[in-house]
Each structure stands twice: as structure tokens, then as C-alpha cells.
Amino acid sequence: MRIGILTGGGDCPGLNAVIRAVVRKGTMFYGDSVVGFLEGWRGVVENRTLELDLDAIAGIIHRGGTILRTSRTNPARDPDGLAKVRRTFEAQRLDALIAVGGDDTLGVAHWISGAGLPVVGVPKTIDNDLSGTDLCFGFDTAVAIATEAVDRLHSTAEAHNRVLVVEVMGREAGWIAVYSGVAGGADVILIPEKPYDLEAVCELLRRRHARGKYFSIVVVAEGARPAGGAGPVTQGATIDAFGHARLGGVGNLLAEQIERHTGYETRVVILGHTQRGGTPTAFDRMLATRYGVQATDMVHRGEFGRMASLQGQTMASVPLAEALGRNRKVDDALYELATVFFG
């Protein structure tokens, strides 16, 4: 078969491991040829490609980013988008396309699948909030990076009797915040699912001081917001091709408010794209490899319009529609566990 592959949306440690797995399983096991599209859906619309033979994928499993590069191009915004995608399928004589991405990239995959094109999805987001699967690759790496940051910030916070607010990624769900916060021993963790009460946060910090602890670590997800209806903090009015605002800055707001309300000196660290950069953990390389092999097998079984999915410990597949339009949130029980360690 002739298989295409693209990586779309924000990059994520493990993307190269997926590409490598598709090429290895496809070429060595099935006798396929694999072509990569450059910069997400933009490469499909413009038919810009990189031929993916065994040499092209040698030595990439440990590398962050994606050798295909990525973009947030949305062909559905172009009135000729679908026709252009079809033309590329024909020009490349594609039998199938594997789209590796999050809600937006897979939404486009679902759209072209509805138009009859053979497509298989692979779920990807460091936020770990895609529905239809239990775990996304890249999340483990992001948690490891954020946890190391929280670990390191403990000693400087303690040396200065400071509160340190650490802002991590997580637009709609606070998975990175909860995992890195609990693992790193944070004193308060704030997530989008649970709008926070500033006074309650300050009270937890005062309680620590009353116990003789003069420093605190607060981990906050970028999408966290105060109770009372205010939206998440955004960086200006920029909106991407899928209509998403650029988040970031809730940590600054919180640090300023905590200092003002408690009188404790407070600093903020925004981890930002550090969480997405660099080498994937062994766990993410393994998970991404499993997703790549599963997607290739799905293509050969003709399971189109579906997404590779981890269910418990097992690889499975679900309709693409199951991944779309709703985020997988941190459940109440897990957040309750985190609160045991607050204050």
C-alpha cells in the first residue's frame, strides 16, 4: 500500500517514534511505501512531502519535535480545501493517510473521512485530555519535566521563605498539574476543572505558615480560572486557525494576588514550551511506538474513520468521532486525592 502520514497541532515528545513505527511496520512487514506530509495539513493541501524510507527514520526515536514539522493549518477553512486534499490523495496515489494529532487535527481527519477518504487517527496531546483513549504519548515527558521543575523550585523557595507559583500547560484539563503537583509535593494545585477561590488558596498557605513552613509551592494549570465566571487568562487577542486563544499568565495574576492578600513574598515560573521540548521519556517512546504499529495494522485491516486507542493496557480502535468535541477531564476522585496534600 501507499500510506501517507502527517503530524499536526502542537508538537509533542514521541511524534518521531510514531513516524518511525509506521515506516518500520509498513515497509518491513507489509511491503508498503510511506510518504510524510510536511507541516501538518498544510503539506496535504500543498502536496509537500518527504519520502519516508528506512534511512529517513534512522536514529529518530529519541528525538523531540517531529521530522515532518507541524502547523495548525485548517483545510476546512478553505472553500477548496477538500478538493485540494483529494487532489493530493490522487497525485500521491494514497491508499490511506495516518493523521497524528489532537482534537483539531483529528477533527479534520473526521471531516475528510466523512467525504470518503481513507484515514486513520493517532491521538496526541501533552495535555492528555483527548477523549476515546486512556493515555496520550507526550504526557509522561511533560509530567517528568514539570516535576523536575517543582523539585528544583523547592530549595530556592525554602531558602527565601517564598511562595513559588509554577504555571504548567493544560488548557481544558489539569492532568499535568495534578500529576506533577502530587509527584513534586506541591502545597496547592489549581486546575481548569475546579475554579478556585483565592481566599481559600491563601488560607491554605497561611495554614502552612502556622505549622512553621515558611515557603510554599502552588502548581497552576494555564487554563485554571477563579470561581465566579471569569474565563482563562489569555495572551492578547490572537486566535489560531481553529479558533483557540493563546493561554498563559494565570500564574502571574495568582502570584500578584497571593502576595497582596497574604503578605508572603511570591514569585512565578511559567514552564511553557519547555514541557514540550526535548527527548521523550522511555515510557512515551514505547507508547508512541505502540500507537504507530497499531495505526499501520488498522490501515491494513481497513479500519478507516477510526483512531488508535489505548484502553487499559491494550491497544484498540474507536470511531474518530469519539475523540472529538469533548475533553477528558481530571476526575473528582483524583483531584480529591491531590487535596489530601494541600496546605
Which residues participate in catalysis according to the annotation?
127
Q: Judged by CB under 6 A, which stretch of 25-33, 121-129, 143-151, 259-267 contacts ligand F6P?
A: 121-129
Q: Closer CB to ligand F6P, residue 125 or residue 281?
A: 125
Q: Judged by CB under 6 A, which stretch of 14-22, 33-41, 110-118, 122-130 contacts ligand F6P?
A: 122-130
Retrieve residue 256's grid coordinates: 500578584
Q: Which of residues 271-330 bind ligand F6P (CB under 6 A)?
A: 276
Q: Which of residues 193-232 bind ligand F6P (CB under 6 A)?
A: 222
Q: Closer CB to ligand F6P, residue 208 or residue 276?
A: 276
Q: Cβ 261 to ligand F6P, closest distance in Å? A: 27
Could you say which of 66, 73, 125, 294 contacts ligand F6P (CB under 6 A)?
A: 125
Q: Cβ 12 to ligand F6P, closest distance in Å? A: 8
Residue, CB closest to ligand F6P? 169
Q: Which of residues 142-181 bind ligand F6P (CB under 6 A)?
A: 169-171
Could you say which of 32, 39, 127, 284 contacts ligand F6P (CB under 6 A)?
A: 127
Asked if residue 10 binds ligand F6P (CB under 6 A), the reply is: yes
Asked if residue 15 binds ligand F6P (CB under 6 A), the reply is: no
Largest CA-CA distance found in the chain, in angstroms, rounded: 70
Selection from 227, 233, 231 nearest residue 256 by Cα: 233
Q: Cβ 171 to ligand F6P, closest distance in Å? A: 5
Q: Cβ 269 to ligand F6P, closest distance in Å? A: 16
Q: Cβ 40 to ligand F6P, closest distance in Å? A: 12
In order of 36, 131, 253, the CA distances from 307 in angstroms are: 18, 11, 39
Q: Closer CB to ligand F6P, residue 26 or residue 181?
A: 181
SS (H, E, C) the chain: CEEEEEECCCCCCCHHHHHHHHHHHHHHHHCCEEEEECCCHHHHHHCCEEEECCCCCCCCCCCCCCCCCCCCCCHHHCCCHHHHHHHHHHHCCCCEEEEEECHHHHHHHHHHHHCCCCEEEEEECCCCCECCCCCCECHHHHHHHHHHHHHHHHHHHHHHCCEEEEEECCCCCCHHHHHHHHHHCCCEEECCCCCECHHHHHHHHHHHHHCCCCCEEEEEECCCCECCCCCCCEEEEEECCCCCEEECCHHHHHHHHHHHHHCCCEEEEECHHHHHCCCCCHHHHHHHHHHHHHHHHHHHHCCCCEEEEEECCEEEEEEHHHHCCCECCCCHHHHHHHHCCCC
Size of site (CB under 6 A) for ligand F6P: 11
Q: Closer CB to ligand F6P, residue 166 or residue 299?
A: 166
Retrieve residue 204's grid coordinates: 491554605
Q: Cβ 217 to ligand F6P, closest distance in Å? A: 20
Asked if residue 126 binds ligand F6P (CB under 6 A), the reply is: yes
Q: Rounded distance, CA 150 to CA 12, Å?
A: 21
Pattern 236-275, binding to ligand F6P, x per CB under 6 A? -----------x----------------------------
Selection from 300, 307, 281, 275 nearest residue 102 by Cα: 307
Q: Judged by CB under 6 A, which stretch of 48-56, 125-133, 188-196, 258-266 contacts ligand F6P?
A: 125-133
Q: Cβ 278 to ligand F6P, closest distance in Å? A: 14
Retrieve residue 232's grid coordinates: 482563562
Q: Judged by CB under 6 A, which stretch of 123-131, 178-186, 211-219, 321-329 contacts ligand F6P?
A: 123-131
Q: Which residues would be at the binding site for ligand F6P (CB under 6 A)?
A: 10, 102, 125-127, 169-171, 222, 247, 276
